[in-house]
Structure 1
Amino acid sequence: MNVLRTIENIRKDVLNFEDMFIESDMPDCFSRIYESENPTVSARELHEALGVASRFSRWFDSNKDLFIEGEDYNKCTSSTVVNNGAIRELEDYSMSVLMAKHICLMSRTEKGKRCRDYLIDLEKAWNTPEQIFARALKMADKTIESLKKDNAVLTE
């Protein structure tokens, strides 16, 4: 019974990454970094956060040769609202946090250093024992819900 109470307390007290860095000067630079089990960074958002003067496609093409597609980054799309209110799809890339940190370091700017430090802090927090346990609990919760649904179908 104590174990169940402890698990519930951890579940309640688990760190929320959106709240954790809200005080930072970069809380929304990396909007999808922890949306999945494999943290990724939007190349477009990093480009914007670094304040790179060159076009996004030129900047990414000059950097991607140092990395492996499918391992360090994957092509995807992001959307933006244009002047007339319509939503426009843009080419984007989901980069691993490691790739994003490398690119920040290669930028050799103060913004690059701040972005890299931010990513390092997020990664440290992501890898705390509490967060690892919390992710395991979330996975267990999903499995339990799936099993309940399967069981409900079988008993009908």
Structure 2
Amino acid sequence: MNELIPIQDNDGAQAVLGRDLHKFLEVKDRYNDWFPRMVAYGFSAGQDFTEFSVKPNGAGRPRQDHVITLDMAKEISMIQRTDKGKQARQYFIECERKANEARDTSVENVKSVVAQMTRSEILQIAMNAEQERLALEAKNKELEPKAEAYSSFIEADGKYSVGAVAKMLGIGQNKLFRELRNIGVFIAKGGMKNTPYQQYMRHFEVKAYTITHSDNSESVRHTTYVQPSGIDFIRKKLNLPSIDPIPEL
């Protein structure tokens, strides 16, 4: 299958870059004007797409780009109502079909291996799994008091605000933002200031919201939240003293 639009690996899921799709669709409008209009059709930052900035050829002013899911890419292609849009949508459907075939093949290979195993080998695997379950259960009991201690910090959706993480690490919120910008984890300027670069996104979540100004104009702002894994990631990045591990809630 010819690669009409490069397919990206986004934490194991297929995705494409917004600018690659924009180029293939031959959209006449500037990317920075076109993409917000596409988002307005009901797509959400952090769920359907992730924003990041890159420097063309490693130099010059950074430009905005997005990693978008294949589902979002298919809908955007359909919205265009052009032959290019139809071609892109069919291409993405074919990419998904190929990926599903590969997964099905992997499952069949596993079944084939299991079918060839002896009864004693299967029993040993079951025993090992039970031992791991008991060890995990014991660890969870040990972490219960820590989970209660952190419950006052956690948001309803299981994420932590940057301010809460700053408290855990014993530093001020503004200083934490500044340090993360200085070491290149957070974007330092522009509309996405204080949000993480794409390579660190797995430790964070960015939520977009609209602000209505006194003149009735609107602008989009972004708030960064920290995943449980991001707390120790930040601590190590900033060489801060060790803290008790955050239990998985």
Query: TM-score under structure 2 normalisation?
Result: 0.39
Q: What are the superposed Cα offsets for residues 112-135 of structure 1, whole Å, 9 maximum, x if unpaired?
A: 11111111000000011556628x
Report 1:8-87 matches (<5 A): 21=1, 24=2, 27=3, 29-30=5-6, 32-34=7-9, 36-65=11-40, 66-81=42-57, 86=59
AA at the equivalent of 1:29: I
AA at the equivalent of 1:94: V
TM-fit CA distance, 1:69:
0.9
Q: CA 1:80/1:58 → structure 2, altered by over 3 Å: closer, same or farther?
A: same
The yes-or-no answer on 1:98 pairing with 2:65 is no
Contact 1:126–1:132 (8 Å) recurs in 2: no
TM-fit CA distance, 1:89:
3.3
TM-fit CA distance, 1:90:
1.9
TM-fit CA distance, 1:40:
1.3
The yes-or-no answer on 1:110 pairing with 2:83 is yes
TM-fit CA distance, 1:78:
3.8
Q: CA 1:128/1:89 → structure 2, altered by over 3 Å: closer, same or farther?
A: same
Higher relative contact order (CA 8 A, sep 6+): 1
Contact 2:5–2:16 (8 Å) recurs in 1: no
DSSP 3-state at the match of 1:100 = helix
Q: Report the RMSD for the aligned CA atoms in angstroms.
A: 2.6
TM-fit CA distance, 1:108:
0.4
Q: CA 1:130/1:95 → structure 2, altered by over 3 Å: closer, same or farther?
A: closer
TM-fit CA distance, 1:99:
0.1
Runs of 4+ in 1 over 6 A off after TM superposition: none
2:93 aligned residue: 120
User: Higher helix proportion, which one?
Assistant: 1
Distance 1:51 1:101 in 2: 15
User: Percent of aligned pairs with the same residue?
Assistant: 28
More off after superposition, 60-69 vs 32-41:
32-41
Q: What are the superposed Cα offsets for residues 46-79 of structure 1, whole Å, 9 maximum, x if unpaired?
A: 0000000000011001111220111101112344
Q: CA 1:86/1:131 → structure 2, altered by over 3 Å: closer, same or farther?
A: farther
More off after superposition, 35-44 vs 119-128:
35-44
Please list every run of 5 or more consecutive structure 1 residues that lacks an aligned counterpart in the other structure.
Answer: 1-20, 138-156
Please list every run of 5 or more consecutive structure 2 residues that lacks an aligned counterpart in the other structure.
Answer: 111-249
Question: How many positions carry a matched residue from both structures?
Answer: 108
TM-fit CA distance, 1:44:
0.6
